[in-house]
Chains A and B, each alone.
Chain A
Amino acid sequence: MRLEPREKPSLLITFAYPALAILAVFVFAGFLVSLSGANPFSVFGLVLKGAAGSQFALFETLTRATPLIFTGLAAAVAFRAKLWNIGAEAQLYMGAVATVVFGTGMLPLPSPVLIPILLIVATLAGALTLLGPAFLKVRFGVDEVVTTLLLNFIVILFVSLLLEGPLKDPMGMGWPQTKKVIAEAQLPKLIQGKRLHFGFILALIAAVAVWIINTRTALGYEMKAVGFNPRASRFAGMKVDRVMLKTALLSGGLAGLAGLSEVSGLKGNLTLDLSPGFGYAGIVVAMLALLHPLGVVAAAIFVAGIFVGADAMSRAAQVPSYIAQVMVASALLAMVTAVMFTRYRLRWK
């Protein structure tokens, strides 16, 4: 058995295989759902209804998609340069920490000044969190997968320390949480009375910005080249290490913005459950989007829909909401497999 590159993948295969992958995910999830005794079709109906069945559901899905767009972009940018940033969770939390440090009254400024400042500090906080592992990678050759993964645990403990110490809300009845950000630091709601906030627009702007960087700038070209073949890039005169560090700053910064958006746009303060794994889900989003920044938006909405829909479904049917995580993880595996088969064909001989 061996793999043979397809000379020219047909348009049909390019679209049919990923579609088959998603179908396979639903068949597999349907099987798991049936184990609980529920009817898979009615359960998926409930998921769909919960994700997109009403105006409320749709807004809820877009709200959940917002941090996923940021973390998805973070993974997409890094993976394109083969910088394996698995630490978006840590970068998100550091962005959130920066937001509450500067946004809870330290800077009594009007919104139009304060919010740009918060955008900058949250980006920097996320960027610097990834700069460490990226520096260790280029300077000492330390594998960034392990360091970014381990940093996730360290940062969560650091946040826990802050929430029980310096950043603890004195009026919080003893709960480990920070003060609410001041009104001037809040991102406006997009529609009065709904949870969807300006962070979603920021996420869309970020996606377009990354797309422009990727396709229209020298850095975008260099990141792709370094990811494709670092040796050839070095030979061509690129400063590969410097490109890696720039990629890290961009990727970490995007993840940091997810933290700002969740705090300033949605939750108002920082708690230890700010992110239910948005950093890890961002990896899935990026892979489903084939690392394309605009695809990330669509993939994030799809993944968010599964999460929001499954939450609503599990309230109505007796199926554990963990089915959403299973679907998202199997979508990742199915999609990378399907994409491989659009580029290669299997030869038995």
Chain B
Amino acid sequence: MGALELLFSASLWAAAIRIASPLIFATLGELISERAGVLNLGIEGIMTVGAFAGWFTVYQGGDLWLGVLVAALAGSAFGLLHAILVVPLGLSQHVTGIGITLFAASLTYYTYRLAFPEVTSPPKIEPFQPWAVPILSDIPFFGEALFRQTPLTYLAFIAAGLVGWFLYRTPAGLAVRTAGENPAAVEAQGIDVTKVRILAVVAGSALMGIGGAFLTLSAFNSFYFEMVNGRGWIAIALVVFGSWRPGKALLGALLFAAFDAYQLRLQQLAGAFVPYQIFLMLPYALSILALIIMSRRASYPRALMIPYRKGER
């Protein structure tokens, strides 16, 4: 198959949607948090926690969906820690976020080693199987690309819709958006900015946890060290790329994943001539490029990274 024909193969797009799924969860999670005015650099560590917690629950005999729930709860616990430190206490969101990532990841690795002191090959679980949507999966091309995915992938798309609806169609979503733009206006409505921001970070972190769990419960079937591999940082870039809007962020994640799926296949095609590291670099380089292109037009939430103190201006 030639490089161009690849673009029109349904399996490429099926893979793209698979690759996009954890990024969609993570990007939505970061987006909610940033819309409320809080940068969450704990994302990489929170995804690691989610990946492990979800997998370990299933490994212990839990149901796959219970694993997803535990991953969300574990993610939100670390999100709560981040939120407490940066919202009411007003600590630097950069330093605290990096600290949360280091803390969450190292705690995960410690727990893993406690549970499995001497395993050479990581223990496996039975992950989510693809579920073909009746009728729709029979459509040529689109059926294979879109409707023969695992349940968590469908959930990712549903989550994107729900987050969009929440942010733009509900009073609570308005409060979240305003907390990130003009917190004093939220206060004037008699709503506690601190509470809104903490809840946004916690909810966002739950999504990040699920994004991590996608890796162990759907994409692979065991937990590996360093398995999140920068996906959290890429999600942060995708939030900027998507101008802090769920729809655009979803599109960004899909574009990014399509590119990633394409390079993986191209690698098999051109692997003999180009070192494989070049291909592996592309997703990160692409993220940086996307940041450069979009940042000129970026409209950051105006109160992003600015702690809110009652009565202070």
User: Contacts A153-B284, A318-B117, A336-B99: A326 and B110 contacting too (C-beta < 8 A)?
Assistant: yes
Closest Cβ–Cβ distance, residue A302 to chain B (whole Å): 16
Asked if A337 is at the interface (CB within 8 A of a chain B CB), the reply is yes
Please provide the chain B residues from 208 to 240 with a CB less than 8 Å away from any CB of chain A in the complex.
229-230, 233-234, 236-237, 240
Contacts of B100 in A (CB 8 A): 333
Q: Which residues 263-297 of A sit at the B interface, judged by CB distance below 8 A?
A: 280, 283-284, 287
Task: Please state if A140 and B281 are interface contacts (CB–CB under 8 Å).
Answer: no
Q: How many Å lie between the Cα of A79 and that of B92 in the bound state?
A: 11
Contact A150 B275 (CB under 8 A): no
Q: Of the listed stretches B150-158, B244-252, B254-262, B287-295, name the one at the interface; the rest are far from the partner chain.
A: B287-295
Closest CB of chain B to A145's CB: distance in Å?
6
Given contacts A145-B41, A320-B114, A333-B96, contact A325 B106 (CB under 8 A): yes
A328 at the interface (CB under 8 A from B): yes
B6 at interface by CB-CB < 8 Å? no
Please encode chain A, from 1 to 32, with 1 for each CB lying within 8 Å of some chain B CB and 0 for all others: 11100000000000000000000000000001
B169 within 8 A of A: no
CB distance from A291 to the nearest CB of B (A): 10
Q: Count chain A residues whose beta carbon lies closer than 8 angstroms to a beta carbon of B.
A: 46
Minimum CB–CB distance for B130 against chain A, Å = 30
Report yes or no: B94 in contact with A150, Cβ–Cβ below 8 A.
Answer: no
Interface residue SS majority, chain A: helix
Q: Are A143 and B240 in contact (CB under 8 A)?
A: yes
A69 to chain B, nearest CB (A): 19
Contacting B at CB under 8 A, from A114-135, are none
B residues less than 8 Å from A200 (CB atoms): none
Whether B117 contacts A320 by the Cβ 8 Å rule is yes
Q: Say whether A219 faces chain B, with CB atoms less than 8 Å apart.
A: no
**Cα distance, A333 to B95, chains bound together (Å):** 9
With A323-B110, A329-B103, A333-B100 as known contacts, state yes or no: A147 contacts B91, CB within 8 Å: no
Q: A141-B298, A146-B287 are in contact. Are A329 and B106 (CB under 8 A)?
A: yes
The answer to the question of A233 belonging to the interface, with a C-beta cut-off of 8 Å to chain B, is no
C-beta contact mask, B268-304 vs A, less than 8 Å → 1, else 0?
0000000101101100110110011001101000000
Quick one: closest A residue to B116, CB to CB? A320
With A146-B236, A320-B113, A329-B106 known as contacts, the answer to whether A140 contacts B278 (CB < 8 A) is: no
B123 close to A (CB within 8 Å): no
* A326 & B237 in contact (Cβ 8 Å cutoff): no
Residue pair B103, A326 in contact (C-beta under 8 Å): yes
Q: For chain A residues 297-345, which have a beta carbon within 8 Å of chain B?
A: 318, 320, 322-323, 325-326, 328-330, 332-333, 336-337, 340
Q: Which residue of B lies closest to A327 (CB)?
A: B106
Q: How far is the CA of A2 from the CA of B41 in the complex (A)?
A: 24
Which residues of A are found within 8 Å of B288, using beta-carbon distances?
136, 142, 146-147, 150-151
Residues of chain A within 8 A of B103, CB atoms compared: 326, 329-330, 332-333
CB neighbours (8 Å) of B230 from chain A are: 149-150, 153
B89 on the A face (CB < 8 A)? yes
Q: Are A140 and B114 in contact (CB under 8 A)?
A: no
Sample of 16 A–B contacts (CB below 8 Å) = A3-B90, A140-B296, A141-B296, A142-B288, A142-B291, A143-B291, A145-B94, A146-B287, A150-B234, A153-B281, A161-B278, A280-B98, A320-B110, A322-B113, A329-B107, A340-B90
Query: Other than the known A142-B292, A153-B230, A322-B110, what 17 A-B pairs have Cβ atoms closer than 8 Å?
Result: A1-B88, A32-B107, A140-B296, A143-B295, A145-B41, A146-B240, A146-B291, A147-B291, A154-B285, A164-B275, A283-B98, A287-B95, A320-B110, A320-B114, A328-B102, A333-B99, A336-B91
